[in-house]
Amino acid sequence: MADVPSGLLEACVVVGAVSSTLRELYQSHQQGKIKELPLLETEVLQVHAPPFVTKESVSNETKGQGHAPAFTRIQRRRSFIKKKRGRPGTANGEVAKGSDGWGGTTEDISVPKDLDLIALPQLCFPGGLQIASEQREDSYHYLVFTDVFGNRTHAVVVQYYRPIQFSQDGGHQNGHRLSSKSSRLYTAYGICVISKYPYYNALRDCLSCLLSQLKPSWMGDFEERVKEFSAKLALVPIPPPGQLHVVFSLRPLQIGLPSREDKDRPAVDLDLHLPFLCFRPRQLLQIITSLLTEQRVVLFSCDWARLTLLAESLMLFIHPLVWQHPFVPVLSSQMLDFLMAPTAYLMGCHLHHYEEVAAVRMDITSVHGHA
């Protein structure tokens, strides 16, 4: 039996620093033991993937039938064990004393089988998670995951900061109520929306709508709001090839999904003029020539968001030809050894890695633009 077409959302993952690490850092900072705020390791904190059912509910539905249902997406997924977050015990969003805000129990959830949760945290924070002493602006960037068969999955990530504070007894207080006697610290959370379809502008608009709800809310409502947001996106249908577009409402915006002209053409939901703003026409032709002759191409930019958009635009420029080699538009600081691959590839790095990469890859032709 053929699979039922999936919706817009494949998974929504929240990445950040664990509560115990934040507590130790916060206490050391309040005691004056830390002069410079360090980079923190990130972990997967939440995973929301359709269908939004637990294994217990599936087993209860199939119990007594004597056989598995004809179609269930659970069969196509694998298990992921994560720490289950305990819900706050008070009405105003603050946790009970002695609790760190996250329960010590574990939750067995179902995630898409092609989703690599091990590498995802460092891709959501390719430059590392930096604790800040003041509020920072939200930042977006885009990711592409490619499996061994060449199938691509697309993602949009937003990093946004919330204030943190821990009470003297170790309890994690809500970010909106901070003592005036203690200096503030802010931690970033990365929310990654993953889809099989390259709707970059639409997914970014969706995340901006989510942030408008998360910022004024209590930290205790964080997980429930993200789950509700994920469930809504999972119900959004993908427009079929042709002239039909899909428009849906996600407060406070109306968001549109453009359709493909035909089944052999990809959907286009990004600004194709971006490469012309970063490179001159002659430079752009040189890059396309390198791709067509299967050379190693590395894109550098001081803005993580530009890397994937530039790489995806180049893929559209060479259509109907298809790039058959490794395609990793964003490499985190821990992934630079990927550039030592002996095959042709298209990858992207932050600009501050340029000298390091140029020193080990002398065979890469440099084209300097304004990326």
Query: CA-to-CA distance for 348 and 328, rounded, in angstroms?
Result: 7
For residue 157, give Cα distances in angstroms to 101, 169, 179, 249. Answer: 24, 34, 31, 20
Domain boundaries, the chain: 11-240, 274-360
Fold (topology level) of 274-360: Rossmann fold (3.40.50)
pLDDT value of residue 110: 58
pLDDT value of residue 82: 55
Phi and psi at residue 313, to the nearest 5°: -65, -40
3-state secondary structure of 253: strand
First-to-last C-alpha distance (Å) of the chain: 47
Regarding pTM above 0.75, the answer is yes
Helix (H) or strand (E) holding 83: strand 77-83
pLDDT values of the chain reduced to their tens digit, one per residue, 371 residues: 445 556 899 999 999 999 888 888 888 887 777 778 888 899 999 999 887 655 555 455 445 544 443 333 443 444 454 554 444 433 333 333 333 444 444 455 556 666 778 889 999 999 999 888 888 999 999 999 988 788 899 999 999 999 886 655 545 554 444 444 457 889 999 999 999 999 999 999 999 999 999 998 888 889 999 999 999 999 999 998 888 899 999 989 999 999 888 887 888 999 999 999 999 999 999 999 999 999 999 999 999 999 999 999 999 999 999 999 999 999 998 899 899 888 999 999 999 988 888 887 766 666 766 66
pLDDT value of residue 274: 94
For residue 203, give Cα distances in angstroms to 140, 152, 336. Answer: 11, 16, 28
pLDDT value of residue 77: 47
pLDDT value of residue 149: 80
